Amino acid sequence: MSEQPAKELPPVNHEMVTLARESRGLLQSQAAKLLGLYQGRLSKIESGLTSADEDIRRKLSAVLCYPPEFFSLKNSVFGPGTSEFFHRKLQSTPARKLRQIHAEINIRIIHIERLLRAIDIEKDNIPRIDLEERRWSVSDVARAVRATWNLPPGPVQTVVNSIEAAGGLVIPCKFDCVNIDALSRYIPGLPHLFFVDDSLLGDRLRMTLAHELGHAVLHRLPNPDMEDQAFQFAAEFLMPEKEIRPQFDQVTLAKLGTMKQVWKVSMAALLKRAGDLGKISPDMKRYLWTKMSKSGYRTREPAEFDVPIEEPRMLKQIIEVHQNDLGYGLGDLSKLLFLDKEEAQLKYNIVPSKTESKLRLRAI
């Protein structure tokens, strides 16, 4: 990464320096130390007050592990977007971690924009519905989305496939942050993007995706009730009242466990739904809640009821089209994404194509 760039590159874009540094979770002072610069110098470079010469570009490339070309990119850097406007847990996330996640998302957006250049993707079919204009309830909206997508009654078989069939793109990421399960972004010209942490259990992945879908459908503009609305949307989308209500007779923990396997949502989500629909009394709900706590289910529900983890397919297919139809090897893909081979492979689960493996065998 530290070798001299072969051709003269366009000047360093200061925004990319900040993006690269933040994506590595470094404070400006830490990065300056690693670069052998005074923090003031780095600060001026990042603010665009001083330009970065080729020597600094080489150092940036070596320290922050992005190729020299990355620092010349002119891509827009996007802010958090509406879905995070009233996100409660984000308030308690350390600022550096949050900046790292936002930088990571911006870099992923650069990747996706580049990966989609060679691929014809249809406009997504995610409805955008204004509650006030239609005078609908949030549950009406969730039912409308299910109807638009022709989902059969009952449990949603796979949330990831439903979103991807409607043209959304689910991108597994490593947020490494207890406060953040998923974040979504609407960037004009790209499919609606759903970034999800790849360590989530199956039920949680479905719930967080349904919640982000709620934001995508309902919240072009933020409003103070948007978090509750996204949760209500997810509840009706995954557990439609009409079909689940009759199943909430005589709720016990064992019954919640059985229902979890059918509806593929957590026992906790089912218990909350039963309470919200008035199928169990507040006392009963409290009793079951306490029983779940005492059994340790609030931390980890029993493994025997685990919901299979849904695998996003679209991003995988986009990578495969590059490999199989466009002849991209791992080296080409890593160049396209401005990552070294190892990071490209890790981030996008790239399985070397057959021709690459053959070549490697021949080389040995």
Among residues 216, 230, 234, 271, the one that binds Zn ion under rule CB under 5 A: 230
The tally of CA atoms less than 13 A away on the side-chain side of residue 296 is 3
Nearer to Zn ion, 15 or 84 (CB): 84
Of 132-140, 223-231, 275-283, 305-313, which part binds Zn ion (CB under 5 A)? 223-231
* In the block, residue with structure tokens 């790849």: 198
Nearer to Zn ion, 129 or 253 (CB): 129
Q: How far is the CB of 102 from Zn ion (least distance, A)?
A: 16
Q: How far is the CB of 317 from Zn ion (least distance, A)?
A: 28
Q: How far is the CB of 49 from Zn ion (least distance, A)?
A: 37
Nearer to Zn ion, 269 or 344 (CB): 269
Question: According to CB under 5 A, which residues from 74 to 93 bind Zn ion?
Answer: none
Of 95-103, 226-234, 306-314, 333-341, which part binds Zn ion (CB under 5 A)? 226-234
Of 225-233, 317-325, 342-350, 354-362, which part binds Zn ion (CB under 5 A)? 225-233
Q: How far is the CB of 215 from Zn ion (least distance, A)?
A: 6
Nearer to Zn ion, 169 or 230 (CB): 230
Contacts by residues 111-120 (CB-CB < 8 Å, ≥ 24 positions apart):
111/337, 111/347, 111/348, 112/169, 112/171, 112/190, 112/193, 113/75, 113/189, 113/190, 114/336, 114/337, 115/318, 115/319, 115/322, 115/336, 115/337, 116/190, 116/318, 118/321, 118/322, 118/326, 119/318, 119/321
Nearer to Zn ion, 31 or 180 (CB): 180
Q: How far is the CB of 221 from Zn ion (least distance, A)?
A: 14
Nearer to Zn ion, 266 or 323 (CB): 266
| Cα–Cα distance, 50 to 55 (Å, whole number) | 14
Residue 218 binds to Zn ion (criterion: CB under 5 A): no
Q: How far is the CB of 239 from Zn ion (least distance, A)?
A: 18
Residue 292 binds to Zn ion (criterion: CB under 5 A): no
Q: How far is the CB of 87 from Zn ion (least distance, A)?
A: 5
Nearer to Zn ion, 86 or 149 (CB): 86
Nearer to Zn ion, 230 or 280 (CB): 230
Other beta carbons less than 10 A from residue 293's beta carbon: 11
Backbone angles phi, psi at 171, to 5 degrees: -120, 110
Q: How far is the CB of 92 from Zn ion (least distance, A)?
A: 15
Q: How far is the CB of 218 from Zn ion (least distance, A)?
A: 10
* In the block, residue with structure tokens 């600094």: 56
Nearest CA among 48, 116, 44, 52 for reference residue 77: 48
Question: Which residue's CB atom is positioned nearest to Zn ion?
Answer: 230
Nearer to Zn ion, 179 or 258 (CB): 179
Count of residues that bind Zn ion according to CB under 5 A: 1
Of 52-60, 89-97, 194-202, 229-237, which part binds Zn ion (CB under 5 A)? 229-237
Residues in contact with Zn ion by the rule CB under 5 A: 230
